[in-house]
Amino acid sequence: MVNFKIQLSAQLENVQEILVRHSRLLLAAQFRCTSCQEVTENWDSYEISGSRGEANLVIRCKLCKRESTASFVGGYSVYNEEHSGQYASLAELDCRGLEPVEFKPRDHFLVVASSGARFEDVDLSEKEWFDYDEKSGDSVSIMELETQIKRV
Ligand SMILES: [Zn+2]
């Protein structure tokens, strides 16, 4: 059994935490089939199920038709201000028949500002985000966003 950690690093300014739903996290990950090495975002079938802390991904490789799965191990992780500037894990995946090769953040992130103000549907695909927190009167930003996949 091989597990992988999806990690994120970013510089946070007046941001308390960044959250992403498990299903969204899976949609933003690219996988490689370990039997034929095919890397594709266009799998034959792609199914995401599960709820709170128990999401599951079942995909069938377009090339070799093998079905593979990924399951979350452990609970939900957020990226918070204590992590700023360092890598921290968003999730750990138990992968069978596939492995994640890249995590490309997209939209639907939830950002909580230091004041507690919430920003829904934040798009992090540009690897940075700037906004204004009306509650505190401060600017809020996420910069130098990077991701990595770590084998554990
Ligand atoms: Zn395959």
Tell me the mean pLDDT in the region 11-22. Answer: 93
What's the CA gap between 112 and 109, in Å, rounded?
A: 10
What would the pLDDT profile of 46-84 be if each residue is shown by its tens digit?
677 654 444 478 888 888 988 888 888 886 689 999 999
- Which residues are placed with Cβ below 5 angstroms of ligand 1, an ion? 33, 35-36, 38, 61, 63-64
In this structure, which amino acid lies at residue 96? R
Tell me the mean pLDDT in the region 82-102. Answer: 93
CA of 68 to the centre of ligand 1 (A): 9
pLDDT at position 145, please? 97
CA of 2 to the centre of ligand 1 (A): 17
pLDDT band with cut points at 50, 70 and 90 for residue 24: confident
CA of 81 to the centre of ligand 1 (A): 39
Tell me the mean pLDDT in the region 115-129. Answer: 96
Q: Which two tokens stand for residue 8?
A: 């994120």
